[in-house]
Amino acid sequence: MTTSEAPMPNLMELTGIRQVFRRGGKEVHAVNGVSVSVAPGETLAVIGESGSGKSTLGRVALGLITPSAGTVTFDGTVLGDLSKKDLRALRSRMQVVFQEPYESLNPRIRVGDIVEEPLIIHRSGLSKAQRREKVVAMLERVGLTAEHAERYPRNLSGGQQQRIGIARAIITEPELVVLDEPTSSLDVSVRARVLDLLRDLQREQGISYIFISHDLATVGLISDRVAVMYLGQVVEQGPTAEVLTNPKHPYTRALLSATLSTVVGEKREHVPLRGEIPNPSAAPTVCVLSGRCPIEIDECSTGPVAHRRVGDRHDVACLRVDRVDRLLPVEAG
């Protein structure tokens, strides 16, 4: 495929999204002008700082919250233009795996019923027996058994609860799934199995995923493109292989270099961020990393920083991209 080819129409487009939470006269600018898109059958990973607005962006994409500004387009339809009824119909084509598995499972109903529920709502043609069969098959695909179906969520381990959330989300064969930290409580081998399942479903059914994660190795395995968030903004986005092996934003470098080696005694060198962590009480008007960036110059804190293209679909919001390769990590510890 060449870059001159017409791009595939996107399944989901988020344009200029802002989300401000207000309470008691105080504001939290959770998302500040984010634009990302997902093509059919594509996986967009969203990584970045804790508290940078990833989960909020996921909720906006699903129409669970109406953003303060910006538009969400799903399959050509602008969510904000829809009536409640039409929005509900459209939302049935999307599913979500929430970040907190236990909090998102109804504690009063059995696991089998939790996984079956979306089938009752969205696949009304199926008989009770057919639904049960699908539920058990799905539980097995995520590494659980029919026995787990009889339990209540609180009687499962954290990783078992997490897989119930995944099973519930994918059982109706949706077109888009937002997965928020879906594998954080899984050991490496079960995690690999769940990622295989997600990839198989994507190949079979062309599902698109928005995959929010702090686990950069997982992101490297599952995603086609990555968006890196910091303080409510996307500071870098591009093809996964590009961003993870040739990061161009100082924050992305700091993030990637902070991952821990599994080799005992091997202290990886890492790019340090200095200074105070900023507070999202006001929308930033200058580079979000200014004050913490090891290679900033005066211009970085005088005005907003536009995204610039540094490679094939690879965009970075940094005035110092030419210098980022000189950003030397320091010895840890």
Ligand X SMILES: Nc1ncnc2c1ncn2[C@@H]1O[C@H](COP(=O)(O)OP(=O)(O)OP(=O)(O)O)[C@@H](O)[C@H]1O
Shortest spacing between CB 287 and other proteins, in angstroms: 17
Of 172, 204, 169, which Cα lies nearest the Cα of 183? 169
Single out the segment in contact with Mg ion by CB under 5 A; choices: 103-111, 142-150, 152-160, 248-256.
152-160
Shortest spacing between CB 256 and other proteins, in angstroms: 5
Output 14 or 324, the one with its CB closest to Mg ion.
14
Single out the segment in contact with ligand X by CB under 6 A; choices: 44-52, 100-108, 130-138, 233-241.
44-52
Q: Should residue 279 be labelled a site residue for ligand X when binding is judged by CB under 6 A?
A: no
Q: How wide is the angle at C-alpha 49 spanned by C-alphas 45 and 53, nearest 5°?
A: 75
Output 156 or 287, the one with its CB closest to ligand X.
156
Coil, strand or helix: which one is 104?
helix
Q: Which does 277 bind (CB under 5 to 8 A by kind): ligand X, Mg ion, other proteins, none?
A: other proteins
Q: What is the DSSP string of 82-149?
A: S-HHHHHHHHTTEEEE-SSTGGGS-TTS-HHHHHHHHHHHH-TTS-HHHHHHHHHHHHHHTT--HHHH
Structure tokens at 108: 């009063």
Q: Should residue 50 be labelled a site residue for ligand X when binding is judged by CB under 6 A?
A: yes
Shortest spacing between CB 100 and ligand X, in angstroms: 9
Q: What is the DSSP string of 149-175?
A: HTS-GGGS-HHHHHHHHHHHHHTT--S
Output 53 or 67, the one with its CB closest to ligand X.
53
Q: Which does 329 bind (CB under 5 to 8 A by kind): ligand X, Mg ion, other proteins, none?
A: other proteins
Rounded Cα distance between 87 and 109, Å, is 27
Rounded Cα distance between 115 and 106, Å, is 11
Output 278 or 291, the one with its CB closest to ligand X.
278
Q: Should residue 55 be labelled a site residue for Mg ion when binding is judged by CB under 5 A?
A: yes
Binding interface with ligand X (CB under 6 A): 21, 28, 30, 50-56, 99, 154-160, 185, 280
